[in-house]
């Protein structure tokens, strides 16, 4: 089961967890990303490329399902304006055992950071700026390209 | 050939629009050629496309390198490196 959502509305973790659990398996691993406030960010706005975003996320989820034989892969990403403390992204992987679930969960979030067309714009006071891409995100995503040992 | 151009984030802001229809000349073969040609159409385009290394592209919604031929593309997107999640 694959579930992809790009939405303006808040992320309902309870509903998404239920979706992950009813897919049926021994392990569900999840990751939740929150809007950080620690450097004075007042608001964060997410822009995306409608159509291409959903296709990219579907590809990321399909990659995880195939690689770890998941029974579920879930990616929920918010777009539009949001505030510090709010959930910006949620991913879940349901697998027979914990190692596959945990690895697949890391893969989902690492890959979506570099593969899906989202852009963040932060506001601090009256100043607004686009968030620059981080090299570390590409390093994290690239580790999944290496052959498994 | 008419191509629908779409722009995102600061590329969109600098150009001043999120989309436009363009008819590039036959000499435009690759996405990079298209960017070069568009840079000459307005000061906003020139500013948005000033640093080619900061640009990414998608042809008919597939991410591609800038040296990709545009072929019979109907929609080409130009945007900064992505920063989601």
Find chain B residues with C-beta within 8 A of A56's C-beta. 63
Residue A148: predicted pLDDT = 55
Question: Tens digits of per-residue pLDDT, A51-100?
Answer: 999 999 999 999 999 999 999 999 999 999 999 999 999 999 999 999 99
pLDDT top residue among A112 and A126: A112
Q: Tell me, which fold does domain A2-145 have in CATH?
A: Aldehyde Oxidoreductase; domain 3 (3.90.1170)
Q: Rounded to a whole number, what is the distance in Å from the CA of B56 to chain A's nearest CA?
A: 10
For A122, the 3-state DSSP assignment is strand
Q: What percent of chain A has pLDDT over 90?
A: 79
pLDDT tens string, chain B, 85 residues long: the values are: 799 999 999 999 999 999 999 999 999 999 999 999 999 999 999 999 999 999 999 999 999 999 999 999 999 999 999 998 8
Task: Assess B43–A contact: CB distance below 8 Å, yes or no.
Answer: no
For residue B42, the SS3 value is coil
Average pLDDT, chain A: 94
pLDDT, tens digit, 9 for 90 and up, residues B25-38: 999 999 999 999 99
The answer on pLDDT for A38 being more than 80 is: no
Q: In this predicted model, which residue has the larger pLDDT, A37 or B54? A: B54
Name, in order, each residue with C-beta under 8 angstroms of A147's C-beta and a sequence gap of 6 or more: none
Domain boundaries, chain A: 2-145
Residues of A in contact with B61 (CB under 8 A): 49, 51-52, 55
Which of A66, A77, A78, A71 is closest to A107 using CA atoms? A66
Residue A121 CA to residue A82 CA, distance in Å, equals: 10
- Terminal C-alpha separation, chain A: 27
The pLDDT tens digits for A111-120 are 999 999 999 9
d(CA A35, CA B61): 28
**Is ipTM over 0.85?**
yes
For the record, the structure tokens of A53 come out as 């975003």
pLDDT band at A141 (very low <50, low <70, confident <90, very high): confident
Q: pTM here?
A: 0.91
Model confidence at A39: pLDDT above 90:
no
For residue A147, name the pLDDT band (cuts at 50, 70, 90). low
Rounded alpha-carbon distances, angstroms, from residue A6 to A11, A56, A67, B69, B76: 10, 11, 24, 30, 22
Nearest to A137 by CA among A120, A149, A121: A120
- Mean model confidence pLDDT for chain B: 96
Instruction: Give the burial class of B6: count Cβ atoms within 10 A of its Cβ; 0-12 exposed, 13-18 middle, 19 or more buried.
Output: buried
B12, B75, B85: best to mutate for the A interface, most A CBs within 10 A: B85
- Distances in Å between the Cα of B18 and the Cα atoms of A4, B4, B21 are 25, 11, 11
């Amino acid at each position: 089961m694959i579930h992809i959502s790009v939405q303006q509305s808040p992320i309902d973790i309870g509903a998404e967890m239920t979706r992950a659990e009813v897919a049926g398996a021994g392990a569900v691993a999840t990751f939740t990303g929150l809007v950080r406030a620690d450097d004075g960010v007042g608001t964060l706005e997410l822009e995306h490329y409608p159509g291409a975003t959903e296709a990219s996320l579907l590809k990321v989820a399909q990659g995880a399902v195939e690689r770890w034989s998941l029974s579920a892969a879930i990616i929920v990403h918010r777009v539009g304006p949001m505030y510090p403390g709010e959930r910006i992204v949620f991913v879940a992987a349901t697998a027979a055992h914990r190692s596959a679930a945990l690895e697949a969960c890391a893969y989902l979030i690492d890959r979506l950071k570099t593969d899906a067309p989202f852009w963040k714009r932060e506001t601090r006071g009256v100043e607004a700026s686009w968030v620059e891409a981080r090299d570390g995100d590409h390093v994290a995503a690239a580790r999944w390209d290496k052959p498994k040992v | 050939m008419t191509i629908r151009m779409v722009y995102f984030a600061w590329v969109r802001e600098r150009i001043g629009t999120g989309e436009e229809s363009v008819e590039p000349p036959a000499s435009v073969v690759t996405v990079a050629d298209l960017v070069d040609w568009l840079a000459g159409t307005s000061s906003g385009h020139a500013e948005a496309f000033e640093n080619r290394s900061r640009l990414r592209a998608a042809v008919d919604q597939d991410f591609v390198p800038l040296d990709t031929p545009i072929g019979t593309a109907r929609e080409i997107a130009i945007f900064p490196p992505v920063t989601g999640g």
